Every structure is written in C-alpha cells, then in structure tokens.
Chain A
Amino acid sequence: MAKAESTSRDLRLDFFRGLALWFIFLNHMHYNVLSWVTNRNYGFSDATEIFVFISGYSAAIAYGGAMQRQGFLVAAARILRRVWQIYVAHLMLFLAFTAEIAFLAQRFDNQMFVEEMNVLTFLNEPHVTLIQALLLKFRPVNMDVLPLYIVLLAVFPLALWGIQRRPLTVVAASAVLYFAARHFGWNLPNYPGDAGWFFNPFTWQFLFVLGAAATRLPATLEWLQRQRRWLTPLAVAYLVFALWIAFSWHVPWFEGSVPQWLARHLYPVDKTSLDPLRAVHFLALAYLTACWVRPDARFLAMPIFRPLVICGQHSLAIFCVGIFLSFTGEFALLEIDGSLAMQVLVGVTGIGLMTALAAILGWYKAAEKANQRRPQMASAA
C-alpha cells in the first residue's frame, strides 16, 4: 500500500499485489461467479495474506530509506500521516456503505426474516453506532482490512526501527506475539457482539512483520533458495494437501472425502487469528513463487499484465475503490439483475474501472513530477 520509490522496482510486488486487489474486489461480492477464479478456493489462505505480506514488504522499502537518512522521527511522522489517510479513506467507505444500507433497509421488512432484520438496529441508534465506527469497533461486512492496516501501520515505526537493527529478533518477537495472542485469545474489541476484530491485529501482524523483515534478510532468503531441493517438494505436497481439503468444502463431489479423525484435527481453520494452516499455506505459496518467478521474469513486463502491475502500484487508492465498487456491484446485482451474465459484466467492469483509475493516477503522478522539475530548469536558464 505504501509507495515504493526505487529505480530497480521489483515488478513482482506490483504484479501480485495487483492480483490480490482484484481478488479482494471479486471476493467482496457475495456469490459473484468470477470469485471462483480467486486463490481462496484452492487452499487455506486467500488474497488477504498476499496483501498483508506485500504491504509489510513495501512499507519497509518506502519508509526504510527515510528512517535511515532523516531519522526515526521524520519517518514516523510520514508513516502516521499515511495512517491518517487510511483512516479517512475507511470512514469514507463507511459512509458509502451506510448510505446503501439505509436505502435497502426500508425494503427489508418481512417477518419471515425477523432474525435477520435485527442487524439493522444500528440504524436506529446512530449516537452509539457512529462513535463505535469512529473507534473502529463497528465495522460492517467486508470493511475489516483497512482497520487492520491502520493498526499495523500505526505501530510500524517501532517495528521498522527494530528491523533495521535486528531483523531476526523482531521476527522472533512477532512470532511470540502471534502464538501468545492465539493461546490467550487476545484481540481488539468489536461492536456489537464478542467476535473481536475479524482480522485480529495481534496475529495478522506476523505476516506484515515477516514481509518487512524480508527486506533486511537477503542472506536468509538466499539460504532458503539453496534449500529448494527438499523445500520445493515439501511446499508442493502441502499445497496439494490444502487443495484437497479446500475442495472438500467447496466442491460437492469432494464433500465427505476428509475422514472424521482428520477433520477433528484440522478444523476450525480460523481466519480471524490466522490459523497456522493458513500462514504455512501462504508461506509455501510465497516460497514457490519466489523460486519460480524471478524479478526479471519476462511475463511481468508483458502489456497484457500491465493492468495488474499498475493497480498494484497504487494500492491504497485501488483497494478503496475496489471496496466501493464491490458495494456498487452488489447493489446492481441486487436491484437490476443477478444473472450469471450480469455477474461477469459487473466483475469485468469493476476491474476495468480499477485499472482506469490506476492509469490516471500514474499519469497524474508523472505529470506532477515533470512539473516539479520544470521551474528549476527555467531558473537555471
């Protein structure tokens, strides 16, 4: 999400983050048939893991330089300014969501759904709900990623300071926090209900820190690369195992193929606290990707994948627009037509709009840069 400025930009980051953004957009629409292509159907982890890990990695690149050149305070101030921007973006999305819900609520008046209608009580008590929303405790459906990102980034100055000195120590501390939070059930409070945050920051921080620390551990990464003779088959075997389990959830054909004893050991595969099955699944996926897709892989620069790369380069804006478009798309599916063709149309249009916006942002940024250079040239003349 942070802007990584570098001449030798690793296009893999942009590519896979763009992919994660598209997947998140599709997954945020209930029952859009296109969401069938996203990775969550083929294993334990989904686009969120990709997004959080890459966000950690690029935040370390984006602010690491400033912290080394200008010191802790300046870098921290820049990070906190970013936190504020994300908070504002989140509140904008909340406003859009609430407007849509208030509109729909008047039609959701059928005694058959008397239990379901209770979810609308928040509209009757804005004096409570709005404050809970400002405190990030009340987060309607699918508005959980940005609050997680806000919290992770808010404490990132300290993490980054540590990562620049003792990356492995910070990773170890992060792992301890991860397991402790899972063991003791630590989470931030939620409203209403006792579910806690859908993405528990105390556990999800692990992937973010891992991503950030990876920027400072080239030797460790190289060592991992050299172990591919035995790590690759292991990772592939794990992914195949996860594929089978995931199919038993989603594909009627495979339902019941998991024996009861195994089911009792595996389940639940909890998303809220980043179940180790999920974390390992993502790491296996990331390992194989890093081994097989080199930074100079030719397909990364191919024009057909350009839309993904530019979406990944403007991830905060594109993420927010993606969430907004998923609201709008769902609304269209609900109000106009929910047919298969319409679902495809909504999905493709949304991705087209995300790409168009990313292209405009890229153009604008380039124009701004050119503008900054011109006056200097004029004064030199």
Chain B
Amino acid sequence: MRPRFAFLLLATGLMLMAGPSTMAVGATCGAPESALDTAGVLPVVAAARRAGGPLRVTVVGSASTGGAGTSGPGKSYTAKLAAALSRRLGVEVAVEAHGRRGWTARAMAEELPDIVAADQPHLVIWQTGTVDAVREVAPEAFGQALVQGAEALKQGGVDLLLMDMQYSAIGVRLIDYGPYLDHMSWAAAAFGNPIFHRHAVMRAWAEESRFGDPGRRKADQESYADQVHACMAELLAQVITDIQAESAPR
C-alpha cells in the first residue's frame, strides 16, 4: 500500500538530487520510471502486433473510464488511446470503452465474459478499485472478483492490464485505498498480469503540480481533466508498447 509510494517518493527525491531524472514521453506527460515499472506480460498483444494487426482493446472501468470531468466525449483517455497506441505499435488499433459510474469489481467481473464475447479483444484494460474502496466493499471480496476476472481472461486467451485508482490529495485523506491496491498487485502477481500504476503516476504529477491547480471553476477543472486524460493515454500506450515488446508472442 502506502510504502510503495513512500519508496517512489524517496526514489524520486534521490533522482532529482542526482540530476535530470529519467522521465518518459516528453516533458508534459512524463512520469518517474519507478511509477511505470511493472512485471507481467502481454503475449496476445505481441502476437497481434507481429501479425500486423488490427489490435482490439477493450477498457472496462468506472466513471473515469467514462471520461467523467473532461470537457467532452473525445477527451477521455480511452478516446485518445487508439491513436497513441497505433502510432507506437505501427498497427491499426480499435478501442472499445465501457465506463460506468459506480461499477464495482464484482459486477465488472461478472459481466466480463459477455463483454469479451461481444468485443473479441486481444487486450482488456481493467480499471477498478475506486468504487470498491469508496463503498468499503470487503477487500477480500474485491480480491476474489479480480481473481475471477483474471482467470476468465487467461482461459479465454485475452491479455489483461490492470489499472488502479486516480490520485487526489483529498481523496487519499478520505478513502483507504491501501488494502485495495494490495489486492490488485497480488492478483497481478498471481496471474502474471501487468499493472498500470495510475495512482502513483497522478501522485507524482500532483507532487510537482504538473498541471497546476484544478481550481474551482468548471472550465478550469475540465481543462485540467483533459490534460490528465491525454497524458494518461500516452503513458498507457507507452507501457503497453514496452511490455508487449518484452513478451513472447502467443
């Protein structure tokens, strides 16, 4: 849980002291390498790329996956992901987004088979954890839902990339994400799935107020959200590209 970030912070601090840190994806969207690092493989994506595409990606998540807070439908990270990924992989990419407010991990896990049957994706990006932490769903049950979903995807021959919660300074004051973050990393370790550490990335951004203060005006908040989502798409694409490059195709 938190210690990971304490460590990241320490690492970031040391890197800053040591000189220019290893930032990825240019100055605007960069994040500490330690926040992007993840174990796990994406063999199906690697195979689809080798076959010349097209690559089909399905994103399942809660409100942020639905683009909540952005200025319009084209501004969410899911809307920007196809172009960013296609640019890097050199194949055609299609992204289907299923973002529903209040969608718990359990409910998502139950619907995953139907969604996969309809979309026929090579890769599922499963964004989860926030709703469960807010509603105080039993962490054990949350973990079981993750395992259920991961198992189904593995058997169906679909790659899975988990994506954790957004970060906000007030949010972590009010919500205990710790146990849910733990369960996500455990489920990932048990099935060899990579994790996109959105929480750590957004925390690093908040630390250095990368995009300024969202403020209280709706227009400012929306432009803030637009920037965060745009960068999230870039980083996601980068992480997916890196992982599949190291995965033996299946």
Contacts and interface: CB of A to CB of B under 8 A. Distances in A.
Interface of A: 27, 30-33, 35-36, 40-41, 101, 104, 107-116, 118-120, 140-142, 190, 192-196, 198, 248-252, 255-256, 258, 260, 263-264, 267-272, 330, 334, 338, 340, 343
A255 B39 contact: yes
Interface stretch (B2-10, B21-29, B42-50, B114-122): B2-10
Nearest to A26: B6
13 contacts: A41-B3, A104-B174, A107-B216, A115-B64, A116-B134, A119-B175, A192-B136, A194-B138, A198-B176, A250-B4, A260-B189, A260-B190, A268-B143
**Interface SS of B by simple majority:** helix
B137 A195 contact: yes
A110 B221 contact: yes
A211 B67 CA distance: 52
Contacts of A198: 176
Contacts, number: 174
Given A33-B9, A108-B170, A268-B139, 5 more contacts: A33-B6, A114-B69, A118-B134, A252-B8, A270-B139
Q: Give the bracket for the number of chain B residues in contact with chain A.
A: 35 or more
B189 A258 contact: yes
Contacts of B172: 30-31
B78 interface: no
A263 B143 CA distance: 13
A26 to B, nearest CB: 9
A5 B34 CA distance: 50
B67 to A, nearest CB: 10
Interface stretch (B80-88, B156-164, B177-185, B234-242): B177-185
Contact of B131 (A115, A249, A263, A343): A115
Contact of A114 (B68, B170, B173): B68
B175 A112 contact: no
Contacts of A268: 139-140, 143, 182-183, 186
Nearest to B132: A193
B57 interface: no
Given A104-B173, A111-B221, A195-B137, A252 B101 contact: no
Contacts of A116: 130, 134, 166, 168, 171, 174-175
A25 to B, nearest CB: 14
Contacts of B170: 104, 107-108, 334
Contact of A249 (B4, B34, B171, B174): B4
